[in-house]
Amino acid sequence: MAALNLLPLAPDLFLVVALLFTAWRALYTRALFPAVVFFVAFGMLLALAWMRLEAPDVALAETAIGAGLTGALLMAAVARLRGRDEERP
Amino acid sequence: MKRAGSAVLALVLAGLAALMAWIVTRPVQPGRDVPAHIAGSIGDSGVSHPVTAVLLNFRGYDTLLELVVLLVALAGVRCLAPLPPPRGGAPVGGVLSELASLLLPVLVLVALYLLWAGASRPGGAFQGGALLAAAGILALLAGRDRFLWRFEHRLWPLASLGVGVFLIVAAGTLGGSGVLLGLPPGHAGTLILVIEGFALFSIAVTLVALFLGTGELEDREP
Amino acid sequence: MTGQALYAVVGCALFCLGFHALVVAAHPLRRLLAVNVMGSSVFLVLVAGSAPGDPLPQALVITGIVVAVAATALGLNLLLRLSVPAADGESGGGESGNGRQPS
């Protein structure tokens, strides 16, 4: 059956759909804080993608820097902006 | 009007995405087999992990410039007039405090391990430096910011250490063999470890300073 | 389609998604997020479009990730500077409410 050819790709398909979903929500959520949370989740999923692509060094860097540090920076900024212009598009 | 424009843009970009996807999936014949070339030269590079060899030896110049870019970003941030300190949040809770006590030594240890392991397996200065910076940020979030007084007026010397050591090594190679950053195969391993060690520390200092942002280091609310 | 090609295609889709958000968004923080997504998508295409385990694009991407976080930090501080009043008022220098010494 043709569908069975897709089976080895199943984790990649899930990861890809999750990547697209978190990126879309991160960019188009109305409120800022959930957007940042989705962005951090996007970073973590991207780290998994790096592992699937056989790039463990990049996965380490992405988790620590891309998701962790960027997440901390963004959350600190959102906390300072809280209540000021959260609902701007 | 804006919604219509946004929809048209979305349509155009969808077409562009399809075109790019088609281009990217075309089979390509590389001009030379780079992974094989790297695997062939790795014996002389001083480390056995190919990514570390590329980062610190074969493309060391790019890494040097990357460290400088970090300093440039720090300079840009420090040039800004101070922001008011953030309005006080909740006091540090027990869980965060306990977690910080447990995690901080582990983070420092793992960061140093990544530095050492980068020679033969995934790791290296950037990953370790990011972890050390995470340890610093965790300490700040848990209210343990007394270590900041050590860095009060020494931010720039400490942050520039990585670039400085790298430049010294570069000058040495230029003077010694005439090839910029051409590490001699005999000492390449040691030189890479030295460069990575100082770079790890400087990266951590720079990233924590970027997180702290503007304002004097000792003016933080406890 | 192999796994690698799938990630390369997703990279293209994410790039266009990020670009659309960059153009459409009004808040600067959202634009920063969009630029970061675009950058990550380029890294995806770079690594997924090369041989598995090829160290050269991986090194380039690690460099790119570090540069991206530096740029994001600078961008965030600029954004905060533009939207939050100065610590000691617009006159610059002089008395301030929290004892901060003008540098």
What SS3 state is found at C17? helix
Residue C70 C-alpha, separation from nearest chain A C-alpha, in angstroms: 9
B86 pLDDT band, cuts 50/70/90, is low
Nearest C-alpha neighbor of A88 from the set C42, C30, B1: C30
Domain map (residue ranges) of chain A? 32-81
Answer whether C74 touches B (CB < 8 Å). Answer: yes
Nearest CA-CA distance, residue C25 and chain B, Å: 10
B52-83 pLDDT tens trace: 999 999 999 999 999 999 999 999 999 887 87
pLDDT confidence of residue C96: 36
Per-residue confidence (pLDDT) for residue C97, from 0 to 100: 38
- The residues in A 7-46 lying below 8 A from C, measured between CB atoms, are 8-9, 12-13, 16, 19-20, 23-24, 26-28, 32, 35-36, 39, 42-43, 46
Top-confidence residue, A8 or C38: C38
Partner-chain contact A50 C47, CB within 8 Å: yes
What sign results for the dihedral spanned by CA atoms B59, B64, B65, B70?
Answer: positive
Could C69 and A73 be called an inter-chain contact, meaning their C-beta atoms sit closer than 8 Å? yes
Chain A residues with CB inside 8 Å of B134's CB? 64, 68-69, 72
Are C33 and A26 an interchain contact pair (Cβ–Cβ within 8 Å)? yes
Q: Average per-residue pLDDT in chain B?
A: 88
Distance from CA of B204 to the nearest CA of C (A): 12
| CA distances from residue C29 to A46, A69, A76, B188, C64 in whole angstroms, order as listed | 21, 16, 12, 43, 20
Q: What amino acid is encoded at C10 in this protein?
A: V
pLDDT recorded at residue B118: 92
Q: Give, to the nearest 10 degrees, the angle between helix B94-117 and helix B188-212.
A: 150
* pLDDT attached to residue C83: 82
As given in the structure block, the two tokens for residue C19 are 């670009």
The pLDDT value given to residue B46: 86
pLDDT of residue A2: 56
- Domains in chain C: ranges and CATH: 3-83 (1.10.287.3510)
pLDDT in tens, C34-59: 999 999 999 999 999 888 889 999 99
Percent of chain B with pLDDT over 90: 59
**Per-residue pLDDT for B143 more than 70?**
yes
Residues B139, B129: Cα–Cα separation, whole Å: 15
Secondary element (H or E) of residue B154: none
pLDDT for the residue B185:
85
* A55 exposure class (CB count in 10 Å sphere: 0-12, 13-18, 19+): buried
pLDDT at A85 over 90: no
Contact check, Cβ <8 Å, B133/A60: no
> What is the token pair recorded at C39?
């950058």
Sign, CA dihedral A23-A26-A27-A28, equals: positive
Out of B15-29, B146-160, C56-70, pick the least confident. B146-160
Q: What is the ipTM of this complex?
A: 0.89
Most B-contacting residue of A63, A69, A75, A82 (CB-CB within 10 A), to test interface = A69
Would the pLDDT of B221 be above 70?
Answer: no
**Across A25-43, average pLDDT:** 95
- pLDDT value of position C66: 96
pLDDT at B215: 64
* Predicted pLDDT at C38: 97
Does an H or E element contain B72, and which? helix B60-78
